[in-house]
Amino acid sequence: MGSLVVSKSRTCIKHLCTSWDVNRLYLRPALACLQQHNIMHAVRFIINQQTLYYSTKGDKQTHSRVSKEKGFTPRTRPAFPNSVFTAGTAKRTAEYMKKRAGADTEELASNTSTRGRGSVKVALPNHPLTTSEWAKLKESSSKPERFEMQMMEGLLATNADINIAKSLLVYVVQDKGTLSYELLLRYLTLCVTGGHHSEVFDTYGIMRTCFKTLDMGASSLFIKGFSQTECWREALVVLEGMKKALLPSPRNYSDAIAGAALHGDAETSWMLYDELLELGLVPNQDTWQCLFQSGITQRGQEDKLFSVLSYMRDNQIYPEEPLIQTIKAWFESFPDQKWSGRFSYVTPSGECENCKASLESIQLTEEEYAELKDKVMKKVIEGSDVFKKTTPEELESFKSFVKQRPPFDIVIDGLNVANTTPKATHSETLLAVVSELEQQGLNILVLGRKHMLQPSRNWDRQNMNKIKQKAHCFFTENMLV
């Protein structure tokens, strides 16, 4: 018998992989001397059931045009930095994970969507157009040289019908004889976000054949797209290729793990998860949700899933509601145990209002505390430019001041706090804050500048005397402006 307590602030399509179908071939002149199977691979692309096709021009012509248009530079995504005091990085970790979740595809989609809305000067069609209709629409564009990109970005921004985008590609092929990397990347984004799996595979064949390498954005999109299909193992191939050039992101691993878990391969999903941790990357919450969902239907993963909970606990990472619901369902799915989970609140003293259990507090060893104290002094108090705002003598005086007094419960930046209320004088605001904290029985340290002690309209002598009675105060020399 057990219970799972969840708090606001604490946490006690099946894709048919068909063969390529080619209706008509346009051969690249540069490939004419190559073996026939290479030529076939270079041009296999069917946009719809009609005679629509893809072709490219010669290598030099293609690369010169792409170099002007694309501007995509592969870059590594640094892992979340290790902290000397892991428990103190909860907020930073949560913000980091939120920021990184979905960054690969969503960042690209949002960027192109924003530019699409502001840059498209002509109305977007609501149905596929013929090549002549696209040509006429291009004539009315204020920037014909960017017409194709503007239209594709507009279609992506509005999540338009994929067939409209296909008809645009047909027009570009017939007009220019080639498709640029940048245009294909936007089209790929539309395919992945719209769940058009067969088009994702088609685009993969084209880009792998016609371009020597894939950048981070394209690789991430292919991993995400493949993971949603029965050909999810192709995502692992892309991931392996990515690792040869740069560090995959947590989102890349999350998509690959989701593909394995979704298709019942728990062994592969955990292998990828362990690899993610070994690289020093921080898993995102979607990754954990997939693993717990897999654990509901497949037994034998309990120890690994408990290690995930320990990871979140040790790093003070609070699961969001979707993950909480999945963890709750996982506990309640145990056939031989009777777990029940409820949403609850935690009192300021750390007690659960539902089961009345006390949540554990963060306990630091003497070594951890000493290291934290040293880092706070060097990184926070001193910093890299400490002597731009103080002097060596003043710094030593402050250290001596701190050593001679009992531990402080709270430290107040006097000038910043005093400036928070425009309607009251500075000293009144600071006195009100200090008085409130004193009533709570806290030992207070107020930091400020010596000009705060000079009577003026904002700094009342009587108020400052009361502040010095209620709190320990350290005033540094005024800064020279």
**Of the candidates 294, 323, 344, which is a domain's last residue?**
344
**DSSP conformation class of 89:** G
**DSSP conformation class of 480:** P
Q: At what angle do helices 216-227 and 233-243 cross, to 10 degrees?
A: 160
Residue 317 sits in the same domain as residue 459: no
Residue 133 sits in the same domain as residue 234: yes
Average pLDDT per block of 10 residues along the chain, 481 residues long: 37 29 29 29 34 34 38 37 40 50 46 44 84 91 89 92 95 91 95 94 92 92 95 95 92 96 94 95 94 92 95 90 95 89 89 90 83 82 66 85 90 92 90 95 93 93 95 85 49
Residue 153 sits in the same domain as residue 290: yes
Amino acid at 421: T
* 281 backbone dihedrals φ, ψ, rounded to 5°: -90, 155
Q: Is residue 366 part of a domain?
A: no
For residue 436, what are the domain limits? 405-476
| Tens of pLDDT, residues 367-414 | 888 898 888 877 777 766 655 667 788 888 988 998 899 989 999 999
242-262: buried (b, 16+ CB within 10 Å) or exposed (e) per residue? beeeebbbbbbbbbbbbbbbb
Q: Is residue 195 part of a domain?
A: yes
Q: What is the pLDDT of residue 384?
A: 66
Residue 338 sits in the same domain as residue 461: no
- Strand residue runs (E) in 322-366: 341-344
Sign of CA dihedral 141, 146, 148, 149: negative
Residue 313 sits in the same domain as residue 420: no
Q: What is the pLDDT of residue 395?
A: 84
Cβ atoms of residues 445 and 408 within 8 Å: yes
Residue 288 sits in the same domain as residue 412: no
Q: Is residue 363 part of a domain?
A: no
What's the rounded Cα separation, in Å, for the pair 294 and 49? 38
* CATH number for position 87: 1.25.40.10
Residue 324 sits in the same domain as residue 457: no
Q: CB neighbours of 379 closer than 8 A, spacing ≥ 6? A: none
**Of the candidates 293, 327, 344, which is a domain's last residue?**
344
Cβ atoms of residues 339 and 4 within 8 Å: yes
| Tens of pLDDT, residues 49-68 | 333 333 333 333 333 333 33
**Of the candidates 296, 314, 344, which is a domain's last residue?**
344
Cβ atoms of residues 138 and 144 within 8 Å: yes
**DSSP conformation class of 379:** I
Residue 287 structure tokens: 């990754």
What's the rounded Cα separation, in Å, for the pair 255 and 258? 5
Residue 90 sits in the same domain as residue 227: yes
Alpha carbon of residue 469 to chain centroid:
48
Q: Is residue 71 part of a domain?
A: no
Where would I find the H helices in 345-440?
A: 366-375, 392-403, 414-418, 426-439
Q: Is residue 370 part of a domain?
A: no
What's the rounded Cα separation, in Å, for the pair 158 and 194? 11
Domains held by the chain: number: 2
The β-bridge relationship of strands 410-413 and 444-449 is parallel
What Cα–Cα distance (Å) separates residue 381 from each residue in 13, 370, 389, 446? 56, 15, 11, 14
Percent of the chain with pLDDT over 70: 73
Residue 219 sits in the same domain as residue 144: yes
Residue 413 sits in the same domain as residue 340: no
What Cα–Cα distance (Å) separates residue 69 from each residue in 157, 207, 279? 20, 16, 34
Q: Is residue 360 part of a domain?
A: no
SS3 label, residue 38: helix
Q: What is the pLDDT of residue 95?
A: 53
Please give the model's pTM, rounded to 2 decimal places: 0.59
**DSSP conformation class of 380:** I
SS3 label, residue 445: strand
Residue 319 sits in the same domain as residue 439: no
**DSSP conformation class of 362:** P
What's the rounded Cα separation, in Å, for the pair 216 and 102? 13
Cβ atoms of residues 221 and 242 within 8 Å: no
Q: Is residue 383 part of a domain?
A: no
Residue 238 sits in the same domain as residue 92: yes
Q: Is residue 89 part of a domain?
A: yes
What Cα–Cα distance (Å) separates residue 242 from each residue in 76, 130, 149? 10, 38, 26
